[in-house]
Each structure stands twice: as structure tokens, then as C-alpha cells.
Amino acid sequence: MEWVIDKQWIVLSPDTASLCRYWSGQPMIFCRQKAVAQMLRGWRHQTWWAYCADHLYGRTIREGVVYYGRAQHLVESHDAPT
């Protein structure tokens, strides 16, 4: 897997007061931990949604930038054992 910069996300400064927007379940349970990054959501009316480190949807933060993992293509070798 290779890590690629995700331009839809930005890292928040530590003094930002945003809380995580993640929710799930019935009744809805909200995370509400301190947010570390924001994702630009929506297609018609885009807005920034903040998330904590536990809810970055498989992304990671390195040196102040959000990255996502992208699978690398495997090259089929004719010399490989079968």
C-alpha cells in the first residue's frame, strides 16, 4: 500500500474547538471527541466536517498532512511459482 495526500482533508490546529461529527446507531450515539482534521463533504453545498483521530476513515496524519492508503497494482510475473 502506498500513502497519498488526501486533498479533501485538512489538519486542524491543536487549539481548534471543533468536535468529532461521527455518529452511529439507533438511537444515535455521537462521538464528540476533539477533532484533529476536517473533510470537505457534499457535492452541491460543500461544508467542512471535523473528525477525531479514531474516525478518519482509514486515513492517517503525517507531518501535518492527511494521507489515505491506496493499493498498489501487482505485476503478474511469468516466473512466479504456481
Higher pLDDT, 75 or 58: 58
Q: What is the pLDDT of residues 61-72, one digit of tens each?
A: 999 999 999 887
For 59, the grid coordinates are 486515513
Q: Residue 34 has what DSSP assignment?
A: B
Amino acid making up residue 12: L
Q: Tens digits of per-residue pLDDT, 9-39? A: 999 998 888 999 998 888 888 898 999 999 9
Look at the block and give the residue holding cell 464528540: 32
pTM for this entry: 0.74
- What does the pLDDT read at residue 82? 55
Per-residue confidence (pLDDT) for residue 76, from 0 to 100: 67
